[in-house]
Each structure stands twice: as structure tokens, then as C-alpha cells.
Chain A
Amino acid sequence: MSSTKIFLKSSDDKTFEIDETAARASETLKNIIDGGCLDGVIPLPNVSSNILPKVIEYCKKHGGDNGSSKKIANGGVDKDKEILPDYDEEEDKREKVRVDELKKWEEEYMDFDQQVLYDLMLAANYLHIKGLLDLTVEKAASMIRGRTPDQIRENFNINSDFTPEEEEEMILIEDEWDDEWAFD
């Protein structure tokens, strides 16, 4: 693989460098590169300079491999490998280590607040980086699951635009598990 450098310009006019192989993690960038009209710097008017390095970090890690986060989602088992006739136990172990390492990396990588999450999610959507979009969406969902509307609003800094009566109506109330029951 060649390691041609690509230059990306953020919305606030700062230029960042990325390897072409890494840039290919983004479907949008890949199309621009393959389109052959690449002339110097690619402007990214929707991505700011505090998010772009984060995006580049992800692309570097995944180097054009869009499927890696999927493997994790499937519990690290690559189904194609299982049906190979010369199944290699060593290879399987190495794969597991690789997946574990990636999981750990993702955990550290994803440690940021909701504002970065929001911007990174939009950047991943704009640049068509499926793995990153998946990660950010999953993080947002994890900040919703099992929480009350108030907690969710706090997590994402959202103001309720419902009337107090509407809010009251929408409250989900837990009931007694086994209260007395009169059958009639």
C-alpha cells in the first residue's frame, strides 16, 4: 500500500495531514481520492479543528477497514474464519488479542463529553465512516437506556418543550410487583 499524504482543511481553516490508506476509512474521502480530481487540500466545511484530529485518530487506527467495529459487535468472532478448512488456533488467539486491544482502545478513545460526541457523530455521518458512526450512536444510546427523561435531558443538555401536564402524562410509573389481587 502506498502511503501518499492527504491534506484536510477544517471549517476554521486549519490543515491536517492523513495517510491515504487511513483516509480511505471514510467513504466520502475514498470517493474523492478515487475520483482522481484530488488537487492539494480537501476542504471539510462541516468539521472543525477540534474534532478533525479525533476523526483522523480513528481513521489511522482503522486504516480503511470499515468492518472492524462489526467484529466486536459480533463478540469478536469472524464467521468467515470459522468455515476455513485450515483453521488456525494460533491465528484465532492473535485475532482475539487484537480484538481485545481494539476494544480497550475504543473505550479510551470514546472518553469525552456529550458536545464532542455530538460533533464527532455528525462528522462521522458527513464523512461516511460507518464504524465511527456506529460507535458514537452506540454511546448516545447508552446514555439513554435505563434512564428517566430528566436524566436523558441532563445528559444531552436538552430543554423540555412539553407542558408540565404533558410531562406528567408521559411519566412511566413502576407498579408494585405483586399487590393483592381480588379476582371477580
Chain B
Amino acid sequence: MGNWSDLYDEILELIIDKIRTIEDIIRFRAVCQSWRSVSVMKRQRQRQRQLCPWLMLAARKGSDRRSFYSLSTQKVYRMDLPGVRGRRCWFSQGWLITFGVDMEMHLLNPFSQVRIPLPPQPSLPYQYSPESKFNNPKVLLKIFIKKVVLSSKPSLSVKTTHCKDSKDENCVIMAISSQFNTLAFLRLGDKVWTPIDSPLGFCDIIYFNGQFYAVNTSGRLFICDIYTYFLVESLGELFLIGQGNDHPDFDEHGYNNPDEPVNENTGGYETKGFFGFGVYKFNFDNRKWTHVRSLENRTFFVGNNTSLAVFPSNQCPGCEPNCIYFIDSYHDSFYYGAAHDMGVSWINPRGIQPQYVGRRIFSKICTPLWVGL
């Protein structure tokens, strides 16, 4: 006797492809655990949206319940969503981004009710002055945040059902906020929003082909570069170091290849997520950057200083060849009183380790920097 709950995943997926409304998918997922997990995993992988979205109807004061209108069946469904009570919502990549008068922000999956905390509104740039009449939670709720967009679905296990302090460095969240409609981003797990040095007046953002694109009120399109770049000179060669773990060029050059050896000495070291460095050498003949897989025994030191390159000799203790020693170099990082990110990164095999482990990295005046003789 064949058991439908044990049907091969590939056949279940074919069946799911023939289900055409969100409500039928929801009911499909309520049949049994295995059907649920196949459907959830399939959706997690799939980039193309195939079903007509629901219209989430306006909030009713003091209610945990939200209603959704289905264009497919012209019916209204209701769901208990205590997580959105009294909160403004945006939607991106299957998740609601919520913001309330408590100034807290969350990701909330309306179907699984999984909730992930985000850094609160006060860590967004360009806050109103304390004297401003706009500096009032009720007003801020209405005007401060214009839009929030995710680069991808946060990777979570299917079984998770409760509030999670999640960390997923591949999930970048970008917001248009403040009276100037400026951009700020974070990687899931970050404690603060990081402002992007950019013009003002953005009205929309989208994640496309590995990058965020933003459009301003006059229709000009901008590519948002959330990577930090350093220039380093060494023995007549000019190098560019791109810091950011999903640099678009990395994939193309196999940088993110999972088969690539990973240095195992990374033992739980927490960084702000800038795991990856891409190194490029400038070719002065064709005026192009070439990705390089080896530093040829150089050691680079980057941060809030002119970047340095060293050829460590055998008698140079503490200085590993083929590594990049880095310090947080966000222009605004000292605003929050800390250099949150500091370490040493191997290029091949890749890996990361702490370097200075002490408390003397916090300063509102001047964060650490490399100085030499």
C-alpha cells in the first residue's frame, strides 16, 4: 500500500507546481509534516514567484487579527498575527518587516509566525534632534521609515516556530529612512543599522542580480555599494581589496565555492560578518582589475589609515603571510563608540581569526588604526 505522506519529494514538488493559490498551498502544508516541509523547502529555494499575492487589509485598532483578500478566490481570510498589533508593516521576500511605537523593528513571517528582532529605529541614521516636535514615537512611527527590503529570505530551519536571535550574513536588509530619505543597511545579526554614504531623496529600492538598486525622486537609478574598498601599494603593484562576504565577483571567481578549503581555526569568533575579502591587482595595460587568489606572501593591513603591505620574513613574529589584518573602517562606526569588527583573514585557504582581543577598541574619539615605523 502506497503511503501518500511518504511520496518522493520530486513528485510532491510536481504536485505543488499545479496548486495555484496561496490558500491551497496553506492547506497543503496543513496536511502532514512531510508535505509541509517539502513545500516550505521548495518555496525557500524558489526565486520565481508563481502565485498571485494576497492583499493584506488595513489594521484595525487594538486587534491581533489581520485580514487578507485573495484575488484568486475573491475571499477574505483572517489570521491571528499578534506580532503586527499596532505596528506598521512592509513586506519583502516572504517576510513582514514591522515597526511599532516601542521603536523596535522585527522580521515576522506571517505564515509561520517566526519572529526575528532587528536593530531598533534609534540606530538608523539622521535622527531628529531631541527638541524636534517630530521626535515622538507616534510621529516617528508614521514618518520615519519609508521602505525596508531584504536581499534574500533569512535561512532558518523549517521547524523553528518562535522568536529567534538569528544571524544570517547573506541576508542584507536595506531601508529608506529619515526626513532625507537616505539609505541604511544591515546584515541579519547586526546590532545597528549602517548608513550608506549617498545622495538624498530615495523613493524605492530593490535587490537584483546580487546588488541593491535604488531610485530617487527624479527617476535616477543608483547601484548601492555596500562593500568597503581599500587600495594597497606593494612593490610597484596596485591592489584593491573588497570587503564583504557576498561580493558579486566572488562567485564568478569561485571565491564562495564551498569545496574550497576553509581554515578551521576560526573557532566561534564573532565578527560583524565581513568574512570575505576579494583581492584584485590593477593591470595598467588594459586598465582593469584582475582577481588574484594569492597575496604572494604579502601581508596587508587595512583600516582607518593608508593601507600597508608587508613581506614578513621568517623573523617577523606575529605577522602571518598571505593574510589581511583588518580593522573596522566604517566612517560612522565611532559614532556608536566601537570598532565592531577586527581580525585577520586568510585568503587561501580562507578563514578568519581575532587579532587584538582587548577592550581598548571602544572610543568615541578615535578608533584603532595601524601605524608603522
Closest to B21 in A: A145
User: Judging by beta carbons under 8 Å apart, are B28 and A138 in contact?
Assistant: no
Compute how far the CA of A175 lies from the CA of B79 in the bound complex, rounded to whole angstroms: 9
Would you give the 0/1 interface string for A123-134, flagging 1 where the beta carbon is closer than 8 Å to chain B?
Answer: 001000000010
Residue in A137, A161, A174 whose beta carbon sits within 8 Å of that of B77 in the complex: A174
User: Judging by beta carbons under 8 Å apart, are B27 and A173 in contact?
Assistant: no
Closest to A125 in B: B11
Compute how far the CA of A106 lies from the CA of B87 in the bound complex, rounded to whole angstroms: 53
B76: chain A residues within 8 A (beta carbon): 174-177
Residue in A115, A122, A137, A172 whose beta carbon sits within 8 Å of that of B27 in the complex: A172
Compute how far the CA of A153 lies from the CA of B28 in the bound complex, rounded to whole angstroms: 10
Task: From known contacts A141-B15, A144-B19, infer whether A159 and B32 are also in contact, taking CB-CB under 8 Å.
Answer: yes
Seen from chain A, the residues whose Cβ lies within 8 Å of a Cβ on chain B are: 114-115, 118-119, 121-122, 125, 133, 137-138, 140-141, 144-149, 152-153, 156-162, 167, 169-177, 181-182, 184
User: Judging by beta carbons under 8 Å apart, are A170 and B78 in contact?
Assistant: no
User: Judging by beta carbons under 8 Å apart, are B60 and A182 in contact?
Assistant: yes
Binds A, one of B2-10, B217-225, B285-293, B334-342: B2-10
Interface of B: prevailing SS:
mixed
Q: Does B67 contact A (CB under 8 A)?
A: yes
Compute how far the CA of A149 lies from the CA of B19 in the bound complex, rounded to whole angstroms: 14
A167: chain B residues within 8 A (beta carbon): 30
User: Judging by beta carbons under 8 Å apart, are A147 and B75 in contact?
Assistant: no
A148: chain B residues within 8 A (beta carbon): 27
A184: chain B residues within 8 A (beta carbon): 61
User: Judging by beta carbons under 8 Å apart, are A175 and B78 in contact?
Assistant: yes
User: Judging by beta carbons under 8 Å apart, are A170 and B4 in contact?
Assistant: no
Closest to B1 in A: A115
Task: From known contacts A174-B75, A174-B76, A175-B78, infer whether A152 and B15 are also in contact, taking CB-CB under 8 Å.
Answer: no
Say which size band chain B's interface belongs to.
20 to 34
Would you give the 0/1 interface string for B20-51, flagging 1 where the beta carbon is closer than 8 Å to chain A?
Answer: 11011011111111000000000000000000
Number of A-B contacts (CB under 8 A): 91
A161: chain B residues within 8 A (beta carbon): 5, 32-33
| Shortest CB distance B109–A (Å) | 13
Compute how far the CA of A88 lies from the CA of B361 in the bound complex, rounded to whole angstroms: 82
Compute how far the CA of A24 lies from the CA of B296 in the bound complex, rounded to whole angstroms: 59
Compute how far the CA of A69 lies from the CA of B346 in the bound complex, rounded to whole angstroms: 56
User: Judging by beta carbons under 8 Å apart, are A118 and B18 in contact?
Assistant: no
| Shortest CB distance A160–B (Å) | 6
Compute how far the CA of A121 lies from the CA of B10 in the bound complex, rounded to whole angstroms: 12
Shortest beta-carbon contacts, A-B, top 7: A141-B18, A118-B2, A170-B30, A156-B4, A149-B30, A175-B78, A175-B76
B30: chain A residues within 8 A (beta carbon): 149, 162, 167, 170-172
A118: chain B residues within 8 A (beta carbon): 2, 4, 7
Compute how far the CA of A61 lies from the CA of B346 in the bound complex, rounded to whole angstroms: 63
Task: From known contacts A125-B11, A173-B78, infer whether A145 and B20 are also in contact, taking CB-CB under 8 Å.
Answer: yes
A119, A144, A170, most chain B CB atoms within 10 A: A144
A114: chain B residues within 8 A (beta carbon): 4
B23: chain A residues within 8 A (beta carbon): 172
Closest to B10 in A: A125
Compute how far the CA of A144 lies from the CA of B167 in the bound complex, rounded to whole angstroms: 36
Compute how far the CA of A182 lies from the CA of B76 in the bound complex, rounded to whole angstroms: 18
Q: Does B14 contact A (CB under 8 A)?
A: yes
Known A122-B2, A141-B18, A158-B3; further 16 A-B contacts with Cβ < 8 A: A121-B11, A140-B15, A141-B19, A144-B15, A145-B19, A146-B24, A152-B28, A153-B32, A158-B32, A161-B5, A170-B30, A172-B26, A174-B75, A175-B78, A182-B60, A184-B61
22 contacts between A and B (CB under 8 A): A125-B11, A138-B18, A141-B15, A141-B19, A144-B24, A145-B19, A147-B27, A149-B27, A153-B31, A153-B32, A156-B31, A157-B4, A158-B3, A158-B31, A159-B5, A159-B32, A162-B32, A167-B30, A170-B29, A170-B30, A174-B75, A174-B77
Compute how far the CA of A149 lies from the CA of B8 in the bound complex, rounded to whole angstroms: 20
Compute how far the CA of A148 lies from the CA of B75 in the bound complex, rounded to whole angstroms: 15
Residue in A115, A174, A177 whose beta carbon sits within 8 Å of that of B2 in the complex: A115
Closest to A149 in B: B30
User: Judging by beta carbons under 8 Å apart, are A137 and B18 in contact?
Assistant: yes
B4, B10, B19, B29, most chain A CB atoms within 10 A: B4
A121: chain B residues within 8 A (beta carbon): 11
Compute how far the CA of A119 lies from the CA of B153 in the bound complex, rounded to whole angstroms: 36
B33: chain A residues within 8 A (beta carbon): 161-162
Compute how far the CA of A116 lies from the CA of B26 in the bound complex, rounded to whole angstroms: 26
| Shortest CB distance A182–B (Å) | 7
Residue in B5, B60, B67 whose beta carbon sits within 8 Å of that of A158 in the complex: B5
Compute how far the CA of A173 lies from the CA of B67 in the bound complex, rounded to whole angstroms: 10
A176: chain B residues within 8 A (beta carbon): 76
Would you give the 0/1 interface string for B64-97, flagging 1 where the beta carbon is closer than 8 Å to chain A?
Answer: 0001000000011111000000000000000000
A115: chain B residues within 8 A (beta carbon): 1-2
